[in-house]
Every structure is written in structure tokens, then in C-alpha cells.
Amino acid sequence: QKEVEQNSGPLSVPEGAIASLNCTYSDRVSQSFFWYRQYSGKSPELIMSIYSNGDKEDGRFTAQLNKASQYVSLLIRDSQPSDSATYLCAVNSPGSARQLTFGSGTQLTVLP
Amino acid sequence: NAGVTQTPKFQVLKTGQSMTLQCAQDMNHNSMYWYRQDPGMGLRLIYYSASEGTTDKGEVPNGYNVSRLNKREFSLRLESAAPSQTSVYFCASIMTALNTEAFFGQGTRLTVV
């Protein structure tokens, strides 16, 4: 089992729809969770971080964390073509030597 | 406000040549990482350094070596480049124990012919 798993996609949604991206992790003592967006040919950039159970909203983005289920998700409301990118889930486990583990990413395409 | 600086941005090597990718961060971060990313794929960890003086293998270490020269710098060396090492390489750093985000360099696009 991979430490951080994401649906590889690709995921396509029409403009204005809600895009839902999912991530599960295996290390129960993980403490912080991040969503990065990566445009083709560019470095990943942080768009959301979440540390406690529940929802965290920032503009059109909502991160959801359920530590009991070891599950974190990202919702993008009113999706725009500019949201088309690869979204990477990252998990920080302070107890591990590696600290930070990335999922393989989900490619999102928002269709005009 | 440099953050993480990677050099070079682009490189073309012939099979068998060697080169070193340089990475430096000015944020006093403890942990540093080298990833490779192939087309349509996610980040794959090559090596990481949890602190100055320590390095550990990641998922795909074969054909690479690393040096954590000091707290700021973490270099990646290809001793004998192979076409399979054609990829985009990213360096990243993080302040451990504070659950903060990772910062990335701008990437190095390497082609081995």
C-alpha cells in the first residue's frame, strides 16, 4: 500500500461545476496535510493546508480532513479552465525520517 | 527573498557524462529533498536529507548520489547519465517539526541523449 494515494484521473468537469479530489494516507500519526497545484512545466505551488478534522475554506477551495478515516479531500467550486492542472496531496508525518510524502497527483481538466 | 534556488534550469547531456544539480535554500530549513517528475506522472523521491550531515534513499535512488554540503545546500549528482534519467528534477525544502509547507525550486529539465 502506498503511503499517500490519489486517484490518478484524469478528471474532467465542465466549467462552473464542483471538482472533487480525494486522497488517503496510511500513517495514522500524520499531522498536517497539503494540497499543491502544479501547472504543466512548473513547480508545485501550495493552495491549501489543513491540520484538524473538518472543513477549511479559502475562496473557491475547500479542504476536508477526516483523520479517523485517514482521508483528505479538496473541493473546487465554480471550476474555471484556469484550474486545469495536476493536484498533489502531501502528508507531513513528523515521526518519520522522511517527514513529507506526496501522492502521485490527480490531473484535472475543466472544460469551457 | 530567494527561497529555493536550483541550477541549472536546462541541461543536455550525452550518455555517460556526469553532472551535478545544485540546490540552495535560504529559509534555514532542516529537511531537503530531490524529486524527479516524468511526463504525466507525479513526484518520485530520489533522495532526502532530514538534517545537515544525513542523507537517505527515496523511491528511485539508483544512478544518483547526493551531498548535504551544509544546512543550505543539497546537491544531486549523476555519475554516468543514462537516457532513462531524462526528466524534470525538483528540489524542495521544509522546516521540520513545525508542520509547514514545502518550498520548491523552479526545476531542472534534463535531457540525456
| Chain-chain contact of A99 with B31 (C-beta, under 8 angstroms) | yes
Put simply, whether B89 touches A (Cβ < 8 Å) is no
Nearest to A94 among B43, B90, B97 (CB): B97
Please state the φ and ψ torsions of residue A83, each to the nearest 5 degrees.
-80, -10
Local structure of residue B73 (DSSP, 8 states): B
Nearest to A51 among B88, B99, B102 (CB): B99
- Per-residue pLDDT of A64-111, as tens digits, reads 999 999 999 999 999 999 999 999 999 987 666 667 888 989 999 999
pLDDT beyond 80 at B2: no
Put simply, whether A33 touches B (Cβ < 8 Å) is no
Chain A residues in contact with B104 (beta carbon < 8 A): 43-45
> Could you tell me the pLDDT band of residue A50, with boundaries at 50, 70 and 90?
very high
The answer to whether B36 and B89 are in contact (CB under 8 A) is yes
In whole angstroms, what is the distance from residue B113 CA to residue B15 CA? 6
Put simply, whether B40 touches A (Cβ < 8 Å) is yes
Nearest to B94 among A51, A97, A100 (CB): A100
- Per-residue pLDDT of B36-93, as tens digits, reads 999 877 889 999 998 888 999 998 999 999 999 899 999 999 999 999 999 999 999 9
Compute the nearest-CA separation of A84 from chain B (Å): 14
List the single best residue of A38, A88, A89, A92 to mutate versus B (max B Cβ within 10 A). A92
Q: B100 to chain A: nearest residue by CA?
A: A32
Report the 10 Å Cβ neighbour count for B37. 19
In whole angstroms, what is the distance from residue A80 CA to residue B63 CA? 41
